[in-house]
Structure 1
């Protein structure tokens, strides 16, 4: 019943030599078993083939409590036996603590079981979180909130993967159409950029793998998914997927998305094995029965150096920064991104801004009709403000100083500055009396005119012209109506190819007149086979909703055709 001494001494076995096998009375230090593990597991010295092929190990990993244990015992035994270390590199990983840095303990009640996390989030999310939360050699402070963030990131990736699938299926996308080499001449700058970025990612991940910087890998993948793929490229390419015919521009977009997703699934395979496998099975095995049956049986994805364009990547980074500054400028003036603007002016402070043939990308992402890039130091026409410098005015004009200040309030700032620049003094008048001022008595400050809203970026300022014309208003209202109808299509769970009947009743005649200019465009965008736009219309569709657009009630009905 008890295998400890002395009861274990009653346990014996017959030996092939004819004797009895009994417990050895002398036991060596148990760490000796671990010390010789690196070659004992290869059956050395009785067999030498595997030992010669595999020993010493490339890599060994354990917790930092093993510095004087497994790491040291192996090193000592190997040095005595062979005169060299049994491993080429060592990684000591940290321990898992709670979010406050405390050891997990039953008495504290802070233990988190891996099974609990897997049940709630799945194995891939747990794996990606643990790998990316901190450097491998640091202790992990487990956080449910950080787990949520990892889950959100991978869910965004899944949605990016699913984004083009309905359109690809509708257009009968196959292995032949997936051949990117057929569309080289049709690739846009944004296509070449995302192909460069995914190959740069493969290059960075490979380098980090070789250096055991696993946490950097997950962060690089996360940045690519969130910033490059989802928030930028998908937004750029979305309109191209709506083209009806087999247009080379659309097929180039499909082939680019396909190439990026396949390479990304292979790069992510060691870190999110189940998610990567699901995508690979659908995109690769589903199109090519001769492909390796699993993503985990593919060769490691090497970066295609011919696709990497660092200048293009830097230019696109600048374009994204300008677009963000433009968005900030819009917010200051209350102009939503869905509403087009007539022009945007980029005013660099010192360095020349080169958009590198990405002007069309910037126009699209800023919803602007025109982009103007000024020379370094140049600005659009500014309004001038001037303020009196009291300590300079008082000693000269004494008792009349307050009259000079009042005169400055009503004077034309541009005219005063011109006089000061030309002659060093300017003339003012107040209640019939004239005064002369010098440059030191006044301070000038430039400010954008009311129609320009400004925001800063790393190389200068971006100015957005927020003046609305009837043409811009018409386009803005049409986009608002399109967004509401698209939301209603989703609520009805309609497929991409489903045609609809839509009726839009606008309770304002001026707004209706503006929207009517875009009637055909609205119908095309929402796939409406029958479309009515008017005032006082009767609504009978399956789904009827009231919306408020810029303070105006708009009633919309949608039904499947």
Structure 2
């Protein structure tokens, strides 16, 4: 009865060397006795070699104990690293790859911290009409959920990790990045979107990093952001196929490539991102909607965007002519960045209102034109000198910032 119920096995797992040994022997015996295969799926893994591709051995002194990795980085990071190895292939162990996995997990943790900060000033608010950035990241969530589920069901375990990893990295490096201003204007919508995706990332990633994801889940429980007692007691997330827009995801990839080339051009010209430019000319083949063009404008910080179609290779050209108005905004953005860093030093949170004083020698009148913009961005009521004072420089000019909590 047990053989009828459990035979053949769903999965057999061994190293590649067992292809000619254990796997083969099982099939031969099963064919003789039962006239059928003894297993339905095979998962093979390779050998762990040193960073030069040599087999680890005591005589060579190149053995790295897994306990050493676990003690230094944790069992979850080690599992995250090892489980992502392509099935059946050997791996050259590399400490830098381990460190990269650690950095990725820090990104995952920081998303949770950012969400908690947002929810200190707002409540989750589902928007009736989604903007294009929400449509994109929710499409990414649902297409990833669908793909990861399919990979798990097919026992292609090694391929699941990169898909989940790309999703939470996109949540941080794409969605959160392009909605920084929106998080001030519509914090509830941004918080709802992040909350929706972050929870499902934790649920899927708990199969890979069970301890860290549980820790992050318990952090959410403390803030009453989840009801379930454990991430491991939740149901596997389901994909909403109606929310998947493959064309939008492809178009967004083009947008991200344009942004990358625009930022690279800024680096080449040695012009910081905080300094707005008059115009950018983008040449490409894929047609972009006005909404997507607006994202490009905001992310490379230009006032006007001209798009020319026809070229296969994407090219971005920047007009670097600086007007007094653009220069004033550039100084204002640099001042805002330094104020925010100073606020953080003294432990202020985003919702704390401040009184503020800024003095930039020789440019007081120029900065005065940006007073409203600065006050809105740093949550300041007025400009005066108070308890906390910090000094810095912008393009060789002395900058002083003072504020106190009110």
Q: Report the TM-score, using the length of structure 2 for normalisation.
A: 0.91
The CA deviation at 1:104 is 2.6
Task: State whether structure 2 residue 27 is matched by structure 1 residue 84.
Answer: no
Task: Indicate if the aligned counterparts of 1:363 and 1:370 stay in contact, CA closer than 8 A.
Answer: yes
Counterpart of 1:112 in 2: which secondary structure? Answer: coil
Counterpart of 1:238 in 2: which secondary structure? Answer: coil
Mapping of 1:225-374 within 5 angstroms? Answer: 225-226=168-169, 228-243=170-185, 249-283=186-220, 286-287=224-225, 289=227, 291=228, 293-348=229-284, 351=285, 353-355=287-289, 357-374=291-308
Mapping of 1:102-181 within 5 angstroms? Answer: 102-132=54-84, 134-171=85-122, 173=123, 177=124, 180=126
CA distance in 1, matches of 2:235, 2:3: 26
Task: Indicate if the aligned counterparts of 1:339 and 1:475 stay in contact, CA closer than 8 A.
Answer: yes
Task: Indicate if the aligned counterparts of 1:475 and 1:518 stay in contact, CA closer than 8 A.
Answer: yes
CA RMSD of aligned residues (A): 2.4
- Point out where structure 1 has 5 or more consecutive residues left out of the alignment: 1-47, 244-248, 378-457, 533-538
Pair 1:529–1:96, CA change in 2 (3 A): same
Query: Which deviations, in whole Å up to 9, do the C-alpha atoms of 1:48-76 show, x marking residues without a partner?
Result: 1x432222111100123333543344333
User: Which of the numbers 217, 223, 236 marks the counterpart of 2:166?
Assistant: 223
Pair 1:363–1:269, CA change in 2 (3 A): same
Task: State whether structure 2 residue 146 is matched by structure 1 residue 203.
Answer: yes
CA distance in 1, matches of 2:266, 2:95: 36
Q: Report the counterpart of residue 4 of structure 2 in structure 1.
A: 52
Query: Which deviations, in whole Å up to 9, do the C-alpha atoms of 1:217-256 show, x marking residues without a partner?
Result: 3223333333x2222111112222224xxxxx43222211
Query: Which deviations, in whole Å up to 9, do the C-alpha atoms of 1:12-47 show, x marking residues without a partner?
Result: xxxxxxxxxxxxxxxxxxxxxxxxxxxxxxxxxxxx
Q: Report the counterpart of residue 390 of structure 2 in structure 1.
A: 545
Q: Report the counterpart of residue 70 of structure 1 in structure 2.
A: 22
Instruction: Report which structure shows greater RCO (CA 8 Å, sep ≥6).
Output: 2
Task: Indicate if the aligned counterparts of 2:118 and 2:187 stay in contact, CA closer than 8 A.
Answer: no
The CA deviation at 1:282 is 4.5
Query: Which deviations, in whole Å up to 9, do the C-alpha atoms of 1:324-343 show, x marking residues without a partner?
Result: 22222323333221111222
Query: Which deviations, in whole Å up to 9, do the C-alpha atoms of 1:266-296 show, x marking residues without a partner?
Result: 221211222322334444794454x4x3333
User: Which of the numbers 516, 541, 545 marks the counterpart of 2:368?
Assistant: 516
Q: Report the TM-score, using the length of structure 1 for normalisation.
A: 0.67
Counterpart of 2:181 in 1: which secondary structure? Answer: helix
The CA deviation at 1:528 is 2.5
Query: Which deviations, in whole Å up to 9, do the C-alpha atoms of 1:77-124 show, x marking residues without a partner?
Result: 333332222211222211222222233333333222222212211122
Q: Report the counterpart of residue 99 of structure 1 in structure 2.
A: 51
User: Which of the numbers 503, 513, 536 marks the counterpart of 2:357?
Assistant: 503
- Point out where structure 2 has 5 or more consecutive residues left out of the alignment: none
CA distance in 2, matches of 1:262, 1:284: 11
Pair 1:73–1:314, CA change in 2 (3 A): closer
Q: Report the counterpart of residue 128 of structure 2 in structure 1.
A: 184
Task: Indicate if the aligned counterparts of 1:164 and 1:241 stay in contact, CA closer than 8 A.
Answer: no
Counterpart of 1:87 in 2: which secondary structure? Answer: coil
CA distance in 2, matches of 1:372, 1:540: 45
Task: Indicate if the aligned counterparts of 2:144 and 2:164 stay in contact, CA closer than 8 A.
Answer: yes
Task: State whether structure 2 residue 316 is matched by structure 1 residue 470.
Answer: no
Pair 1:101–1:332, CA change in 2 (3 A): closer
Task: Indicate if the aligned counterparts of 2:46 and 2:90 stay in contact, CA closer than 8 A.
Answer: yes
The CA deviation at 1:163 is 1.3
CA distance in 1, matches of 2:225, 2:171: 23
Pair 1:165–1:95, CA change in 2 (3 A): same
Query: Which deviations, in whole Å up to 9, do the C-alpha atoms of 1:147-176 show, x marking residues without a partner?
Result: 0011111111211222121121332x3xxx
Counterpart of 2:401 in 1: which secondary structure? Answer: strand
The CA deviation at 1:190 is 0.2
Task: Indicate if the aligned counterparts of 2:16 and 2:46 stay in contact, CA closer than 8 A.
Answer: yes
CA distance in 2, matches of 1:262, 1:356: 31
Counterpart of 1:164 in 2: which secondary structure? Answer: helix
CA distance in 2, matches of 1:375, 1:73: 61
Mapping of 1:395-410 within 5 angstroms? Answer: none
CA distance in 1, matches of 2:8, 2:310: 60
CA distance in 1, matches of 2:226, 2:109: 22
